[in-house]
Amino acid sequence: MKFQFAHNNFNVCDLDRSLAFYREALGLEEVRRITPEDGSFIIVFLGDGVTSHQLELTWLRDWDRPYALGDNEFHLALQVDDMEKAHQKHQEMGCICFENEKMGIYFIHDPDNYWIEIIPAR
């Protein structure tokens, strides 16, 4: 028996805003969408165009408050081929929330305050 990663899920309050953020900040594009007839939720899968791993964004129509993320110790990590250029872009976007210069990494946050770790390609 062998398991493989398929996707991670983040629930979001404003789907359009989140889609725009992930497109601009990380270059992720919509791969597929699930929208039931009753409109109670929308699920959008985003991909990087390189790996098969996807980020699932779930919007719930009846959710009326920000998501409680606790201590926000969980996160998604993406590696980038040009760390300096990525850092500059994220700095301009104002979404860097934590930097660890000693480790050579930093974190950005999305509109719902989920953290995404940015690491250099190794």
In terms of residue numbers, what domain contains 80?
A: 7-62+75-120
The answer for 102, left when phi > 0, alpha when psi is -120 to 50, beta otherwise, is: alpha
The average pLDDT across 81-110 equals 96
Residue 85 lies in a domain: yes
Residue 1 lies in a domain: no
Residue 68 lies in a domain: no
The number of distinct structural domains making up the chain is 1
Residue 46 lies in a domain: yes
The average pLDDT across 17-26 equals 98
Residue 69 lies in a domain: no
Q: What is the CATH number of the domain that holds 16?
A: 3.10.180.10
Residue 101 lies in a domain: yes
Residue 1's pLDDT is 82
32, 82, 105 from 121: Cα distances, Å: 27, 8, 11
Residue 69's pLDDT is 86
- H helices of the chain, in order, are 15-26, 83-93
Residue 67 lies in a domain: no
pTM greater than 0.75 (yes/no) = yes
